[in-house]
């Protein structure tokens, strides 16, 4: 499975896009909302939405042709609790999240994002301080943020940034440093592809605590510290990445 990269810093993808009213997106707009950042072709949410009819599910993806294909499948399946939207998450999501009714966001999943291996490209990675702060502001205490990746050099700085914010804790019962299993009933396509090859997936489930989000400049300073940007260890030795 080949990753299809899109440069999120291009002029086209730096244009913010409006969030349609929830009443236009979902048949029951007051349901708790699951946000999947980087929904790709959408097959994860297309399988999950029928299993969780008590939630609305919103997939956000930067590759427009994948969004159009996923929306076509959603319409064919008649899923009224699922939508896919085209947007650059880092540009549009902070404003979108600020528009949500308090307590509406129930779950955020960020699974197998583009790794952007070269140091000069790290600014293209999706989980930047501004997005993390927006997520921490929108998520109520007890709601969940689930991260997983098959690239150890990517998941470690993601986890380090989340932990440095002070806004999230891991469930007490979860194994450290990584969860061996996905807490959701449906795997992503990338997850299935990696596990078929017998390669590792690194997963962490976070729960929002009561700590207020730090100011953005403080979080950016934390992200610039050696322990975050250089991929400080979240525990354990990295295994070979695919």
The average pLDDT across 171-197 equals 95
Residue 236 pLDDT: 37
**Model confidence at 239: pLDDT above 50:** no
The end-to-end CA distance of the chain, in Å, is 11
Domain covering 12-229 assigned CATH 3.30.2130.30 in the classification: no
Residue, of 184 and 236, whose pLDDT is higher? 184
Residue 241 pLDDT: 34
Domain extent listing, the chain: 12-229
Evaluate whether 121 touches 157 at the Cβ level (below 8 Å).
no
What residues are annotated to the active site?
Answer: 114
The average pLDDT across 134-142 equals 97
Residue 228 pLDDT: 54
Residue 66 pLDDT: 94
pLDDT in tens, 54-83: 999 999 998 899 999 999 999 999 999 999
pLDDT in tens, 2-31: 445 665 555 655 576 778 999 999 999 999
**Model confidence at 129: pLDDT above 60:** yes
């Amino acid at each position: 499975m080949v990753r299809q990269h899109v440069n999120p810093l291009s002029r086209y993808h730096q244009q913010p896009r409006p969030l349609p009213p929830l009443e236009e997106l979902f048949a029951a707009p007051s349901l708790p909302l699951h946000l999947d950042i980087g929904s790709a072709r959408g097959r994860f949410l297309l399988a999950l939405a029928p299993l969780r009819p008590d939630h609305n599910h919103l997939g956000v993806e930067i590759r427009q042709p994948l969004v159009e294909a996923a929306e076509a499948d959603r319409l064919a399946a008649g899923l009224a609790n699922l939508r896919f939207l085209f947007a650059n998450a880092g540009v549009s999501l902070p404003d979108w999240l600020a528009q949500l009714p308090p307590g509406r966001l129930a779950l955020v999943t960020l699974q197998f994002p583009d790794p952007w291996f070269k140091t000069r490209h790290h600014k293209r990675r999706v989980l930047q301080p501004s997005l993390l702060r927006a997520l921490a502001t929108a998520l109520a205490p007890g709601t969940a943020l689930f991260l997983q990746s098959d690239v150890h050099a990517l998941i470690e700085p993601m986890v380090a940034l989340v932990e440095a914010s002070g806004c999230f804790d891991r469930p007490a019962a979860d194994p450290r440093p990584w969860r061996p299993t996905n807490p959701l009933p449906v795997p992503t396509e990338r997850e299935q592809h990696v596990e078929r090859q017998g390669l590792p997936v690194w997963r962490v489930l976070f729960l929002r605590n009561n700590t207020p989000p730090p100011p953005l400049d403080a979080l950016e300073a934390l992200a610039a510290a050696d322990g975050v940007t250089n991929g400080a260890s979240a525990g354990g030795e990295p295994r070979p990445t695919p």
